[in-house]
Structure 1
Amino acid sequence: MSVVFRTLIGAVFGFFCAFALSPAIAALHSDGSNFASVSTIVIVAIMAALGYFAPTVRRAFGRGFLLLGLCFFALPFSAMLLSGRAASEVVAQASADGQAAAVLGAGAAGLAVTGIATFIGLIAGAIFVILGLVLALGGRREVIVVTR
């Protein structure tokens, strides 16, 4: 029963990791492919495997929080990928007269999105990594004091 619970914990953290990496998945997605669904399934399967091989439930939570924190640390880069792709498509759709305004607007929007993602990603990533380190590495330690 514990193995199923640890695997389920890993799978749930896998969905959260896929959600945190969804801007990068959307930026790399092309029309006619099912890259987004396959990459989400791969992320969930990897996290479920990490939960399955965890020795305890506490370590499964620790591994999940650690990788979720790393995915949140990658959130600014995935937002940068998505805003770059959106800017590229906006500039390609703009007419010759409004292309300069489209470049300026897309750049400002990309800067705003990346800035907000950096703020959220660094704070949430730090919280999740610290929580994961406490859960994965912490625990009961027995100290024996020997006196003369």
Structure 2
Amino acid sequence: MIIAKAAFRILIGIFFGAASAIALTPAFAAFTSAEDRVTPIVMMSLVLLCGVLCFFAPSIRRAFGRGFLALGASVFALPISAFLLSGRAASEVVGTAEAGSEAIAAVGAGLAGIAVTGVATFFGLIIGTILLLIGLVLSLGGRREVIIVDGPQRTEPMVRK
């Protein structure tokens, strides 16, 4: 039974790690070049890191909480990822524009970057906040044991003066 729970926690971690890597794909794409071999390694290390974090969780509920926290942080960073990718795309568009149309290409790329970043901000902040709250509730919530210790009992009644 312990092995089955550990395997299930690892699967939870791998699932949430893969979802986190997918959410950070725009940032990875912004830093990728034609001969880049580091980006897939970073993506796989993110998946493995989330798997390890969930494996060491004390319960399946806490494993889900840690997975939701990792995914929420990745989705919450989606506006930054979109900003990086739109900046990279704008740089490429302006660099390949014809001799007289660099200004028009820069304005168009800037407007497209603003639109993409705005949509990513809208969805990233809302969905990221929801995922982070779910992760916090699952990780930190639960029963709390409260022990009430009575102080010494008084034998004489209190009299106000």
What TM bracket, shorter-length normalisation?
over 0.9
4+ residue stretches of structure 1 with deviation over 2 A?
141-148
Q: 24, 36, 39: which one pairs with 1:36? A: 39
Structure 1: give runs of 5+ residues left out of the alignment.
none
Q: Distance in 1 between matches of 2:80 and 2:18?
A: 19
Q: 100, 109, 114: which one pairs with 1:111? A: 114
Q: Distance in 2 between matches of 1:141 and 1:39?
A: 38
Q: Deviations over 1:53-73 (max 9, x none)?
A: 111000000011111111111
Q: Deviations over 1:86-137 (max 9, x none)?
A: 0000000001211111000000000000000000110011100100010000
Report the count of equivalent residues: 148
> If each structure's helix is expressed as a fraction of its own residues, which one has the higher value?
1
Q: Distance in 1 between matches of 2:113 and 2:39?
A: 22
Task: Letter of the 2:25 partner, please give it.
Answer: S
State the TM-score, normalized to the length of structure 2.
Answer: 0.87
Task: Letter of the 1:83 partner, please give it.
Answer: S
Q: Distance in 1 between matches of 2:10 and 2:120?
A: 30
Q: Distance in 2 between matches of 1:125 and 1:133?
A: 12
Q: Distance in 1 between matches of 2:29 and 2:126?
A: 23
SS in 1 for 2:98: coil
Matched, 1:15 2:47: no
Structure 2: give runs of 5+ residues left out of the alignment.
154-161
Query: Partner of 1:72 in structure 2?
Result: 75
Q: Give matches, 1:84-99, under 5 Å.
A: 84-99=87-102
Query: Partner of 1:59 in structure 2?
Result: 62
- Could you tell which deviates more after superposition, 136-145 or 98-107? 136-145
The two structures, once aligned, show a CA RMSD in angstroms of 1.4
Query: Partner of 2:132 in structure 1?
Result: 129
Choose 1 or 2 for highest CA Rg: 2
